[in-house]
């Protein structure tokens, strides 16, 4: 028997409480003493019928004012499923409570009064459901008894609502006509609407497919607590956020990037063969590493994005407005770090979905912001992974939870290619620049790392290729998407028509620069090993990608050393006059004046040089 | 009724994982956590889950029993045995001591209930232990006001709950930040129902006090509640003890916890009975019958 968590939202008097009361009553989930209490309360209030709504409004203020203020949770079970209802208020001033209820729901029921049709509020409820990533939405068209069980009216509402919902990208949308008061189509099928072919609400709740709610692909294990009964035993406790893992599998720990292997998956009842999304377990590792709360254990080949600059949608949940520049506590998985809102991009009017410019967020505002965290956090886009894409902000003074956030991705440090660079490039006649279909940030989000170009320049035989090959191997093994473009390779095929004159060398580098930028656009870490003797040519290649994404590595091996190595015998041939235009001998090499990295290779093993290079590339901000 | 094993029950496994997650979060976010232990099935389940959560390390919570002095002897015996088995530290906060110290005043009348008095003793005990969080076995399905509880429920410096101004609890990102003097109540069993609890107890083979199983006992029926014979319950004028076959659905203060007539003498029979029950488990508690908002009012003051 599995568990379905669903939320309900409706405007005042749409009949939400009655509907929940009906569900509980008809599934025999209400006890006699509860019913008696409600009967006597109804009588006291002078109501002529048993007000099922009184079953659900738990707080005194709610009963007095006849409204739902806070989220209330209700429980019932049928032989097929257990259900947890998060009953949320519908007023705009309780949007944050709706967000709260929706945050853990797998299905949302949105109530619509058949007489009133699709109101602004119904749209808001649909918007919030889609924003929080609830996969299934049911529109309960209630009070059908008051519109003569009209088929036309139902389909009118259905088409109104569907028009709007299409814009939101709700995956699964179901419409059910009903009367909560009389019970039609709630638990029992209605005799009054023979034209309706669908199922009852309960039947739908019992049968809706629950797979896909949790991300089963990307293994993410935020370490929650370290269990350490004595010096010899250490286990990392937590709930698997997504994916699954088995003993013996390789894992990588963030942020240290240390690698090890799962030794065992522990539980009170004995070792487990596997831990899957949603399960609370503890993991032991083969090596003793320094792992603590807030770290995240993942697979080396499938990493989340690590970034401190975030692009997110937030809902402001505090009476106190957002204060720019305040350093809030950001709680994300089991990690806590300081963060501030660096930019407000826009606010979304939850009723019209229009974007507006604002200075600050107030209670219940929803919109898009950029945040800067004190340390990189490890995330997936909320859309892909609710567990690792969600965060809250906590006010450091009042300790109130002031915002709920859903990560859209890392902030792109440089927007897009500067227009000038595009215009300077040779262009065929009569073509217009088209933007990329799938933009780089999306590709990077999927790859879980940022793209870059690492450009190795230096004399023939300086060691560019050996270093780049070893570097690529290391990056690739870590799960990075990489591509190595090598001089000798591109001169087969793509640049096979070019020789070694100055013009041809320039054209050679122009083409590989463009090629590298295409691989870059495709999300790769592109390693280019070209002698590329001319400064201007290298500068052109650099201009094709955003600042900070192109790193020039000068493999600074002196000519004598290269000539001594002479792996391909080119220097000897050049000296004998067999090769014209040999760089360093008969053709100039313009050494970079300010390369990002300059490497010494003389007398050093490749391994050592590559290790040094990786440290320096990381210092430069490359996401390796 | 056929008793379905919970072993392949995804729903109950999910609840178990959720509770363990909450307990570990408590251990990680707080410095001096205590676990409120009443001796009832929910607190026994809490101890069981806490052992699972931190296995093979010991449970990192001090157990706190707020003792009204009106106990069934079986409860205390069971409590002491469990504490010894788990190897936990037990701290008893005594309502009698609070009365003797003049912190609270015993109710007037023939059958004073000490239920309401527990709040003061509880808050005093938390202060004494410098506890910054108290784990409770409360479940949202028990009662209307409890249905509004958070997993992490904030209490101000006076131990009070402000139900209209709770921190939103979004996803499972629990905010346990607090100012000095404030504390939290944490409710790992929030999403369990009475049925879930019993089925899980049966499946895990968790030992339960004998009071939960059917036995012969002298009781008196008062206001629809069967009160057990004990030194704390005095008969009113026209009442008399009569022996009946009963069991308890909740275990609390002997003066207000009512028995129900039942022949259920095994967990399986209890589960069948719960499934067929037409009354909530708290229906047998006279303290909840006092007003429509009795529980909410007590909880606001700092009650469990
Ligand atoms: N005729 C009719 N009245 C309904 C129906 N559902 C609810 N009501 C009535 O609408 C009013 C508001 O219902 P309630 O459940 O309190 O609405 P809530 O504010 O959404 O919780 C009450 O008077 C209900 O009896 C229905 O299906 N048909």
> Is the distance from CB of A192 to CB of A214 less than 8 angstroms?
no
Give the model's pLDDT for residue A200. Answer: 97
> Is the distance from CB of B42 to CB of B69 less than 8 angstroms?
no
**What whole-number percentage of chain A has pLDDT above 70?**
94
Distance B137 CA to ligand 1 centre (A): 34
Q: Which residues of A touch B53 (CB under 8 A)?
A: 237, 280
At residue A308's C-alpha, the angle toward residues A596 and A513, to 5°, is: 35
Give the model's pLDDT for residue A446. Answer: 85
Average pLDDT of the residues in A253-263: 95
Q: Name the pLDDT band for A287 (thresholds 50, 70, 90).
A: very high
Average pLDDT of the residues in A17-43: 81
> Is the distance from CB of A1 to CB of B10 less than 8 angstroms?
yes
Give the model's pLDDT for residue B151. Answer: 96
Is A186 or A61 the better-scoring residue by pLDDT? A186
| Lining residues, ligand 1, CB within 6 Å | A 10, 12-18, 53, 142-143, 145-146, 179-181
Average pLDDT of the residues in A503-507: 87
CB contact under 8 A, B58 and A228: no
Is A532 labeled as catalytic in the residue annotation?
A: yes
What is the ipTM, given to two decimal places?
A: 0.89
How many beta carbons lie within 10 A of that of residue B293, not counting itself?
Answer: 18
Distance A179 CA to ligand 1 centre (A): 9
Atom of ligand 1 nearest to the CA of A146: 1
Average pLDDT of the residues in A363-377: 93
Residue nearest to atom 9 of ligand 1 (CA): A15
Distance A15 CA to ligand 1 centre (A): 3
- Is residue B296 predicted with pLDDT exceeding 80? no
Distance B192 CA to ligand 1 centre (A): 29
What's the whole-number average pLDDT of chain A? 88
Give the model's pLDDT for residue A458. Answer: 94
Q: Which of A411-420, B81-90, B108-117 has the lowest mean pLDDT?
A: A411-420
Q: Which two tokens stand for residue B283?
A: 């229906």
Give the model's pLDDT for residue A58. Answer: 53
Strand ranges for A462-567 from DSSP E: 482-486, 525-529, 550-555
- Residue corresponding to tokens 């697979």: A299
Q: Which of A28-32, A104-108, B157-161 has the lowest mean pLDDT?
A: A28-32
Tell me the count of A-B CB pairs closer than 8 A: 153
> Is the distance from CB of A182 to CB of A17 less than 8 angstroms?
no
Give the model's pLDDT for residue B2. Answer: 38
Which is catalytic among the residues A129, A452, A532, A543?
A: A532
Q: Cα A577 vs. chain centroid, distance in angstroms?
A: 59
Q: Which residues share a beta bridge with A312?
A: A369, A407
CB contact under 8 A, A100 and B53: no
> Is the distance from CB of A398 to CB of A299 less than 8 angstroms?
no
Q: Name the pLDDT band for A580 (thresholds 50, 70, 90).
A: confident
Model pLDDT for residues A46-59, shown as the tens digit of each residue: 776 667 777 665 54
Model pLDDT for residues A433-487, shown as the tens digit of each residue: 666 788 888 888 888 888 999 999 999 999 999 999 999 999 998 889 999 999 8
For chain A, positions 320-379, list CB contacts with chain B under 8 A.
329, 331-332, 334
Give the model's pLDDT for residue A48. Answer: 65
Give the model's pLDDT for residue A416. Answer: 36
Average pLDDT of the residues in A297-308: 91
Q: Which two tokens stand for residue B158?
A: 């006076």
Give the model's pLDDT for residue A484. Answer: 96
Give the model's pLDDT for residue A420. Answer: 31
Model pLDDT for residues A377-416, shown as the tens digit of each residue: 999 999 889 999 999 999 999 999 999 999 998 886 434 3
Is B162 or B17 the better-scoring residue by pLDDT? B17
- Is residue A421 predicted with pLDDT exceeding 50? no
Handedness of CA A39, A45, A50, A52 (dihedral sign): negative
Is the CB of B196 inside 8 Å of chain A's CB atoms? Answer: yes
Q: Which of A204-213, A275-284, B134-143 has the lowest mean pLDDT?
A: A204-213
Q: Which of A71-75, A166-170, B248-252, B292-296 has the lowest mean pLDDT?
A: B292-296
Of B54, B179, B292, the CB nearest to A227: B54
- Is residue A10 predicted with pLDDT exceeding 90? no
Q: How many residues does chain A have?
A: 624
- Is residue B110 predicted with pLDDT exceeding 70? no
| Coil/strand/helix, residue A74 | strand
Q: Which two tokens stand for residue A571?
A: 């220097």
Q: Which two tokens stand for residue A346?
A: 């826009």
Of A33, A82, A96, the CB nearest to B283: A33
| Coil/strand/helix, residue A596 | coil
Which distant-in-sequence residues (6+ apart) come within 8 Å of A619 by Cβ? Answer: none
CB contact under 8 A, B170 and A317: yes
- The H-or-E segment that residue B60 falls in is none
CA distance B219 to B233: 10
- Is residue B116 predicted with pLDDT exceeding 80? no
């Amino acid at each position: 028997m599995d568990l379905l968590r669903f939320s309900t939202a409706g405007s005042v008097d749409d009949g939400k409480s009655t509907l929940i009361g009906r569900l509980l009553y008809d599934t025999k989930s209400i006890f006699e003493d509860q019913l008696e209490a409600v009967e006597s309360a109804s009588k006291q209030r002078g109501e002529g019928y048993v007000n099922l709504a009184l079953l659900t409004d738990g707080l005194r203020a709610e009963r007095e004012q006849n409204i739902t203020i806070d989220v209330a949770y209700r429980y019932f079970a049928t032989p097929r499923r257990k259900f947890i209802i998060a009953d949320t208020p519908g007023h705009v001033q309780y949007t944050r409570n709706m967000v709260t209820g929706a945050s853990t729901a797998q299905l949302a029921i949105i109530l619509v009064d058949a007489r009133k049709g699709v109101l602004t509020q119904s749209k808001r409820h649909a918007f919030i459901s889609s924003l929080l990533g609830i996969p299934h939405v049911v529109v309960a068209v209630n009070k059908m008894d008051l519109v003569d069980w009209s088929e036309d009216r139902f389909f009118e509402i259905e088409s109104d609502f569907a028009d709007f919902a299409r814009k939101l990208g709700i995956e699964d949308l179901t419409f059910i006509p009903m009367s909560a008061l009389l019970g039609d189509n709630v638990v029992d099928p209605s005799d009054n609407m023979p034209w309706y072919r669908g199922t009852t609400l309960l039947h739908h709740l019992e049968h809706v497919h629950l797979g896909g709610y949790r991300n089963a692909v990307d293994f993410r294990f935020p370490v929650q607590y370290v269990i350490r009964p004595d010096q010899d035993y250490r286990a990392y406790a937590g709930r698997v956020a997504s994916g699954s893992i088995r003993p013996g599998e390789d894992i990588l720990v963030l942020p240290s990037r240390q690698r090890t292997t799962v030794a065992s998956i522990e539980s009170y009842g004995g070792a487990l063969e596997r831990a899957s999304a949603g399960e609370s377990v503890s993991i032991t590792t083969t090596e003793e590493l320094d792992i603590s709360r807030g770290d995240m254990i993942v697979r080396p080949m499938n990493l989340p994005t690590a970034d401190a600059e975030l692009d997110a949608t937030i809902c402001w949940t505090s009476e106190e407005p957002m204060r720019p520049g305040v350093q809030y506590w950001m709680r994300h998985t089991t990690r806590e770090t300081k963060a501030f809102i660096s930019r407000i991009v826009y606010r979304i009017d939850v009723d019209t979905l229009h974007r507006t410019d604002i200075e600050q967020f107030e209670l219940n505002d929803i919109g898009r912001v950029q945040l800067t965290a004190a340390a990189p956090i490890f995330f997936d886009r909320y859309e892909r992974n609710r567990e690792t894409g969600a965060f809250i902000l906590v006010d450091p003074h009042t300790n109130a939870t002031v915002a709920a956030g859903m990560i859209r991705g890392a902030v792109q440090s440089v927007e897009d290619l500067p227009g000038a660079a595009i215009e300077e490039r040779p262009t065929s006649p009569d073509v217009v620049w088209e933007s990329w279909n799938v933009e780089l940030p999306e590709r990077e989000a999927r790859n879980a790392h940022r793209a870059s170009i690492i450009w190795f320049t230096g004399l023939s035989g300086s060691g560019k290729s050996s270093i780049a090959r070893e570097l690529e191997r290391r990056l690739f093994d870590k799960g990075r998407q990489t591509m190595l473009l090598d001089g000798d390779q591109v001169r087969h095929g793509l640049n096979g028509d070019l020789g070694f004159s100055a013009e041809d060398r320039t054209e050679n580098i122009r083409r590989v620069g463009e090629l590298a930028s295409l691989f870059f656009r495709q999300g790769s870490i592109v390693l280019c090993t070209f002698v590329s003797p001319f400064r201007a040519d290298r500068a052109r290649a650099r201009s094709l990608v955003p600042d900070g994404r192109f790193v020039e590595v000068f493999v600074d091996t002196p000519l004598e050393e290269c000539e001594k190595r002479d792996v391909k015998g080119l220097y000897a041939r050049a000296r004998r006059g067999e090769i014209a235009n040999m760089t360093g001998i008969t053709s100039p090499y313009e050494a970079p004046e300010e390369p990002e990295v300059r490497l010494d290779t003389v007398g050093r093993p490749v391994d050592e040089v590559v290790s040094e290079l990786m440290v320096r590339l990381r210092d430069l901000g490359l996401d390796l | 009724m056929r008793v379905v094993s919970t072993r392949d029950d995804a729903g109950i496994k999910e609840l178990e994982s959720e509770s363990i997650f909450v307990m570990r979060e408590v251990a990680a976010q707080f410095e001096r956590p205590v676990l409120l232990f009443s001796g009832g099935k929910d607190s026994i389940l809490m101890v069981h889950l806490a052992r699972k959560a931190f296995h093979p390390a010991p449970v990192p919570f001090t157990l706190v029993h707020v003792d009204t002095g009106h106990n069934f002897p079986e409860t205390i015996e069971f409590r002491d045995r469990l504490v010894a088995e788990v190897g936990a530290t037990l701290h008893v906060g005594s309502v009698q001591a609070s009365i003797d110290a003049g912190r609270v005043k015993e109710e007037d009348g023939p059958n004073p209930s000490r239920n309401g008095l527990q709040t003061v003793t509880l808050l005093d005990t938390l202060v004494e232990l410098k506890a910054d969080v108290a784990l409770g076995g409360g479940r949202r399905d028990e009662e209307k006001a409890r249905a509004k509880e958070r997993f992490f429920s904030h209490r101000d410096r006076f131990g009070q709950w402000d139900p209209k101004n709770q921190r939103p609890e979004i996803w499972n990102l629990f905010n346990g930040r607090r100012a000095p003097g404030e504390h939290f109540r944490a409710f790992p069993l929030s999403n369990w129902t009475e049925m879930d609890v019993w089925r899980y107890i049966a499946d895990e083979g968790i030992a339960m006090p004998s009071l939960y199983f059917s036995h012969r006992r002298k009781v008196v029926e008062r206001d629809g509640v069967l009160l057990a014979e004990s030194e704390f319950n005095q008969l009113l004028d026209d009442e008399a003890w009569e022996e009946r076959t009963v069991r308890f659905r909740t275990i609390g203060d002997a003066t207000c916890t009512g028995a129900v007539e039942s022949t259920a003498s095994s967990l399986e029979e209890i589960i069948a009975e719960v499934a067929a029950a037409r009354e909530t488990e708290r229906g047998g508690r006279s303290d909840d019958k006092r007003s429509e908002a009795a529980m909410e009012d007590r909880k606001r003051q700092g009650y469990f």
